[in-house]
Structure 1
Amino acid sequence: MRILHVLNHTQRLNGHVHAAVDLACAQSAHGHDVCVASGGGDFDSLLQKKGVKTVLIDHKRSFANLAKALVFLRGHVRDFGAEVVHAHMMTSAVLAFPVCRLSGIPLITTVHNEFEKSATLMGLGTRVIAVSDVVGASMRKRGVPSSRLCVVLNGTIGSARADGRSEEPAALCSPSILFVGGLHPRKGLPDLLQAFEIVHRSNPDARLYIVGDGPFKQAYVDMAFQLACKSAITFVGPTADPYPYMLGADIFVLPSHADPAPLVLSEAREAGCAVIGTMVDGIPQLLEQGEAGMLVPPGDPQSLAGTLADLLEKPDQIDAWKARSQVRLEYLTIDRVARETMQVYLTALSKNAPGPENAETEHSPSRADALTSSHRK
C-alpha cells in the first residue's frame, strides 16, 4: 500500500512525532511504500534510512502559507499515488481533508493530544484512530460516531528509534526515582517534587533524576532549589535517548494531570522499572489497570509520597513491581500497532466506509481485500 503520513514536523521533542515516525518505519519494514510530508526535523535521516520517503511541507499557520501547502500537498498526493493519507495533528488534518476529498482517497486521523480543544477537528477523518480507550470515549462525546472510530493503543517496543541504542544502564545512585517527560504543567512534575521532599526526610539516600526539557524547566529548577532535599535532585536535561536512564532506575514515576497514551510508559516497562503512574487518560490502560504498575490520583503529592515511601522502605516490593512491569508487555510492540493500523486503513478503503468524504468511494471491497495479501513498494 502507498501510505502518506502528514504531520507538522519531525522534531524529537513531541511524543506524537515519535509515534508517527515509529509507525511509518514499521510500515516500511512490512513492505509498504511510505512517505512522510512534514516541516522536517530530527527524524528525517532515520526515516530515510528505513526506506521512508520524506518531503517538506511548511505548516506555518498563515493564510498564504497554508494555501501554498495545500496546493503542494495535492500535487504530492497525485505524484506519489497515495492510497491512504494519515494525518497526525490538527493542521495536517485540515490540510489533508480537502485534498483527500478531491482525490477520492480516505483520510485517517490519529488523536494524539485529546486534551486540546482543536482535537475535535481530527473528526474530519474517514477513520479516526484514538490512542487509548479513554481518548476514544472522549472523541465519541465530541460527536465522532463509533462507526468511524477505532482504538489503537500506543506501543513502542521494537521501534526503529531503538536501533543501536545503548543497553548500558546509566550510573544512578540507588534507590533512584526517575521522571522522563516534557517540563510543562500537564506532566505534573511539581507534584513529584513535593512528594520527593516528603519521602526524602525518612529516606535520605533516595535520589530523584529528571530527564527532559520544556518551557517550565527554569521554574521547576527554581522550585527544586527551594527544597531541603535539593542536593538529592538532578536535572539531567534533554537526551536523545532516555532508555539508559530507565535501565539504571529503580522506580519510574509519571505524575501526569493529562496524558492520552504516553509512549514513555511502554519504554519504562520494557526497561524493567517499577512504575508509578496517575489515574488519568490512557495511563491505567498502559499499566494494565494497575497490574503492571502502581496507580495514584493525579494532583495528589501526599498519595504519591505514600506510595514511594512504601516502596523505598520495602526494597523487595521494588523488585516485585519490576517483575510485574513485564505483565503482557508483548502487547506494547510497534509491530502490533502497525498491524492494527493497517486494518483501519482497509476498512476505510471499503466501498461502504462511512465518513465525511462520502459513503460511496472509488475503492471497492475487492481492492481492499487484495491489499492485505499484496504489499507493493
Structure 2
Amino acid sequence: MRILHILNHTNRLNGHVHAAVDLACAQAQLGHDVCIASGGGDFDPLLHKNNVATAMVDHQRKPVNLLKSSFALRKHVHAWQPDIVHAHMMTSAVLAWPICRLSGTPLITTVHNEFEKSAILMGLGNRVIAVSEAVRASMLRRGIPSSKLCVVLNGTIGSVRSEGRSRTPVDLPSPSILFVGGLHPRKGLPDLFEAFRLAHEQHPEARLVIVGEGPFQTNYMEMVAKMECASAVAFLGAKEDPFPWMAAADIFVLPSHADPAPLVLSEAREAGCAVIGSKVDGIPQLLEYGAAGILVPPHDPPALAAVLCELLGEPARMQEWKDKSQVHLDRLTISRVAHETLDIYGSALAAGSKNAAVAA
C-alpha cells in the first residue's frame, strides 16, 4: 500500500508529530511505501533512515502560501499516486480534501487536538480516527457521523524514536514527583504546584521535577518562587528524550484540564512510575480506567495532594502502583496502532471500490 501522511511539520516536542512519525515508520517496517508531506523538521533524518520518504508542503496559514502549498500537494499526489492520504491536522485536512476528491483517493484524518474548535474540520475525511473513546464521543456530539468515526487509542511503546535510547535513570532525589509536557494552562500545572505545596508540608523530603517548555514557563517559575517549597521544585526545560527522568522518578503526575490521549502516559507507564492523572478526556482510558494509574478530579489540588501524601507516606502503596502501571501495557504499543490503522485504510478502500462499482 502507498500511504501519504500530511502534517504541519516534523519537529520534536509536539505530540501529534510524534504520533505521526511513529505510525509512518511502523507502516514502513511492515513493508508499505510511506511518505510524509510537511514543512519539514527535526525528525526528517529519522524518517529517511526508516525508509519513509518526505516531501515539502509548507503549512503556514497565509493565503498566498496556502495556495502555493495546495499546488505543491496536488503535484506530489499526482506524481506519487498514494492509495491512502492520511491528514493529521486541520490545515492538512483542508489542503488534502479537494485533491483527494478529484483523484478519488480516500482521505483519512486523525483528531489529535479535539479541544480546538477547528477539529470539526477533520470530519472532511472518509474515515475519522479518534485517539481515544472520549474523543470519539466528543466528535459525535459535534456532528461527525458515527459511520465515519473509528477509535485507535494512542500508543508509542516500541517506536523507532525509542531505539537506542538510554534506559539508565538520571540521578534524582527520592522521593521524586515528575511532570513531563508543555508548559501551558491546558496541562493544569498550577493545580500540581498547589498540590505539591500541600503535600510538601507533610513530606518535606519530596521533590518536584518539571520537564518541558512552553509559553507559560516564566509565569510558572515566578508562581513557584513565591511558595515556601520553591527550593524543592526544579524546572529542567525540554529534553529530547525524557525517558531517563521517568525511569528515575517515583511518581508521574499529569494534572491536565484537557488531554485527548497523551503519549507521555504510555512512556511513564513503560518506565515503571506510579502514575496519577486527571479524570478527563483520554487519560482514564490510557490508565485502564484506574487499574494502571490513580485518577483524580481535574481542578482539585487538595484531592491531588491527598493522593500524593498517600503514596509518599506509604512506600508499599507506592510500589503497588508502580507495579500496577504495567497492567495491559501491551495495549500501548505502536505495533497495535499501526495494524488497527491499516485496517481502517482497508475499510475506506473497500468502501471506495463499492461506490465506484455502483457508479459504474
**TM bracket, shorter-chain basis:** over 0.9
SS in 2 for 1:139: helix
Amino acid at match of 1:199: A
Does 2:278 correspond to 1:283? Answer: no
Q: Which residue of 2 aligns with 1:172?
A: 172
Distance between the aligned counterparts of 1:352 and 1:184, measured in 2?
A: 42
* 1:1-377 correspondence runs (5 A): 1-351=1-351, 360-361=355-356
Amino acid at match of 2:355: E
Tell me the alpha carbon deviations over residues 42-65 of structure 1, each in whole angstroms, 9 at most, x when there is no partner: 111111111100111111111111
Q: Which runs of 5+ in 2 are unaligned?
A: none
Cα offset, 1:4, TM superposition? 0.3
Q: Is the 8 A contact 1:194 1:301 kept in 2?
A: yes
Cα offset, 1:13, TM superposition? 2.1
Change over 3 Å in CA distance of 1:126–1:361 after alignment to 2: farther
Distance between the aligned counterparts of 2:322 and 2:228, measured in 1?
A: 29
SS in 2 for 1:351: helix
Q: Is the 8 A contact 2:168 2:244 kept in 1?
A: yes
Q: Is the 8 A contact 1:85 1:105 kept in 2?
A: yes
Tell me the alpha carbon deviations over residues 28-86 of structure 1, each in whole angstroms, 9 at most, x when there is no partner: 00000000000011111111111100111111111111111111111111111101000
Change over 3 Å in CA distance of 1:362–1:80 after alignment to 2: farther
Cα offset, 1:350, TM superposition? 1.1
SS in 2 for 1:350: helix
Amino acid at match of 1:63: P
Distance between the aligned counterparts of 1:29 and 1:53, measured in 2?
A: 13
Change over 3 Å in CA distance of 1:268–1:363 after alignment to 2: farther
Change over 3 Å in CA distance of 1:348–1:230 after alignment to 2: same
Cα offset, 1:363, TM superposition? 11
Tell me the alpha carbon deviations over residues 255-290 of structure 1, each in whole angstroms, 9 at most, x when there is no partner: 000000000000000000000000000000000000
Distance between the aligned counterparts of 2:117 and 2:134, measured in 1?
A: 16
Distance between the aligned counterparts of 1:150 and 1:281, measured in 2?
A: 16
Q: Which residue of 2 aligns with 1:373?
A: none
Distance between the aligned counterparts of 2:343 and 2:42, measured in 1?
A: 29
Distance between the aligned counterparts of 2:122 and 2:139, measured in 1?
A: 9
State TM-score, norm by structure 2.
0.98
Distance between the aligned counterparts of 1:362 and 1:328, measured in 2?
A: 42
Amino acid at match of 1:119: A
Cα offset, 1:351, TM superposition? 3.4
Distance between the aligned counterparts of 1:121 and 1:191, measured in 2?
A: 32
Cα offset, 1:360, TM superposition? 2.0
Cα offset, 1:134, TM superposition? 0.5
Cα offset, 1:11, TM superposition? 1.1
Distance between the aligned counterparts of 2:18 and 2:356, measured in 1?
A: 32
Distance between the aligned counterparts of 2:351 and 2:139, measured in 1?
A: 24
SS in 2 for 1:128: strand
After TM superposition, which residue ranges in structure 1, 4 or more long, deviate above 3 angstroms?
Answer: 361-364
Tell me the alpha carbon deviations over residues 120-151 of structure 1, each in whole angstroms, 9 at most, x when there is no partner: 00000000000000100111111111111100
Q: Which runs of 5+ in 1 are unaligned?
A: 354-358, 365-377
Distance between the aligned counterparts of 1:149 and 1:345, measured in 2?
A: 13
Q: Is the 8 A contact 2:106 2:352 kept in 1?
A: no
Cα offset, 1:295, TM superposition? 0.3
Distance between the aligned counterparts of 1:79 and 1:33, measured in 2?
A: 14
Distance between the aligned counterparts of 2:13 and 2:154, measured in 1?
A: 17
Alpha-carbon RMSD: 1.3
SS in 2 for 1:147: coil
State TM-score, norm by structure 1.
0.94
Tell me the alpha carbon deviations over residues 13-34 of structure 1, each in whole angstroms, 9 at most, x when there is no partner: 2100100000000000000000
Distance between the aligned counterparts of 2:203 and 2:245, measured in 1?
A: 21
